[in-house]
Amino acid sequence: MSVHAQTNEIQLNKTWLTGSCGAVLHDVDIAKGVDQPLFEAIHGALMEHGVIFFRDQDITRDQHKAFGSLFGKLHYHPAAPGPEGHPEILIIHADENSTYSAGQGWHSDVSCDEEPPMGSILRLETVPETGGDTLFSNMYAAYEALSDRMKNLITGMTAVHSGKHVYAGRYNVSADKMVREYPESEHPMVRTHPVTKRPALFVNSGFTTHIVGMKPKESKAVLEHLYQHIALPDFQCRFHWEPSSIAFWDNRCVQHHAVFDYWPEVRHGERVTVAGDKPYYEPA
């Protein structure tokens, strides 16, 4: 990290994971506090890389939440109650009793919400000896790589995102104890990122159920094509976790997929999620 004396601008020391997305930011210690110039540098890196990573972050729950709050209001998960006194925290845990792990399959977090989260900040405390990586895919690049014909077809169309099939029966919460009802929302299939103004593909195999205005078979065919496209390695990076690593991803332009290849080992951590805005599309 270096500071330009005249402008107070911080140049972060970082390592790109791939040419498509993801960068590890070095020399940042969140526990020491994040002042305005450092906040701007971190936010800039998130906008540039879609997902950023930090190693060796020894922080408390309150410090984790305070870091998230710098980027916006905190989001409350619709289905998973947080630990006592911390309703904004989402526990991510898998062990020998798990038959799945949270975040398996390509998705953008809680895209079923009317205003889906802007970003998610996951810190893992316990990691398996092998495996447990998370994959990320750049949705600007995925959109850009489509043919003009396909871009024209899906731009301006909307799709429905539902939480019911994802959350029903999960988190050991009965329907009457849900934090909120299962959300369902209609979003543009291509959204304009509110900061970068770039178009990004915004359908995901986790939450998107169908395209509005298409016959079921047409909708299925188009969505399946897009899901295969999103999963191409060309748009991805892969992050290998260590204890106290943090990943911070921008749900508006990146999807992720947590690989559950470590059973029966334990993988445990906590996520703070930053609230977002209603997705929209605006021609460039």
| CA–CA distance, 215 with 218 (Å, rounded to integer) | 5
Query: Which among 49, 64, 75, 109 is annotated as catalytic?
Result: 109
| CA–CA distance, 224 with 230 (Å, rounded to integer) | 10
Does 58 qualify as catalytic in the annotation? no
Query: Which among 193, 256, 257, 267 is annotated as catalytic?
Result: 256
- How far apart are CB 122 and ligand SIN at their closest, in Å? 5
For ligand SIN, which is the closer residue by CB, 211 or 253? 253
Q: Where are the beta strands (DSSP E) in the chain?
A: 2-3, 10-11, 14-16, 23-25, 51-54, 89-94, 119-126, 134-138, 158-162, 184-188, 190-192, 199-201, 208-211, 236-239, 245-250, 254-258, 267-274
Residues in the site for ligand SIN, rule: CB under 6 A?
Answer: 92, 102-103, 109, 120, 122, 134, 256, 258, 271
The answer to whether 151 and 281 have CB atoms below 8 angstroms apart is no
Query: Which among 187, 191, 257, 271 is annotated as catalytic?
Result: 271
Residue among 135, 132, 136 at smallest CA distance from 241: 132
- How far apart are CB 197 and ligand SIN at their closest, in Å? 26
For ligand SIN, which is the closer residue by CB, 123 or 210? 123
- How far apart are CB 104 and ligand SIN at their closest, in Å? 8
Helix (H, G, I), strand (E, B) or coil at 161: strand
Does 271 qualify as catalytic in the annotation? yes
Those residues whose C-beta lies under 8 Å from the C-beta of residue 202, and which sit 6 or more positions away, are: 108, 111, 139, 187, 188, 189, 190, 191, 252, 279
For ligand SIN, which is the closer residue by CB, 119 or 188? 119
| CA–CA distance, 50 with 14 (Å, rounded to integer) | 14
| CA–CA distance, 207 with 218 (Å, rounded to integer) | 18
- How far apart are CB 247 and ligand SIN at their closest, in Å? 7
CB atoms within 10 A of CB 101: 18
- How far apart are CB 257 and ligand SIN at their closest, in Å? 8
Query: Which among 107, 210, 252, 267 is annotated as catalytic?
Result: 107
- How far apart are CB 161 and ligand SIN at their closest, in Å? 15
| CA–CA distance, 56 with 219 (Å, rounded to integer) | 44
Residue among 137, 235, 146, 250 at smallest CA distance from 190: 146
Catalytic residues: 107, 109, 256, 271
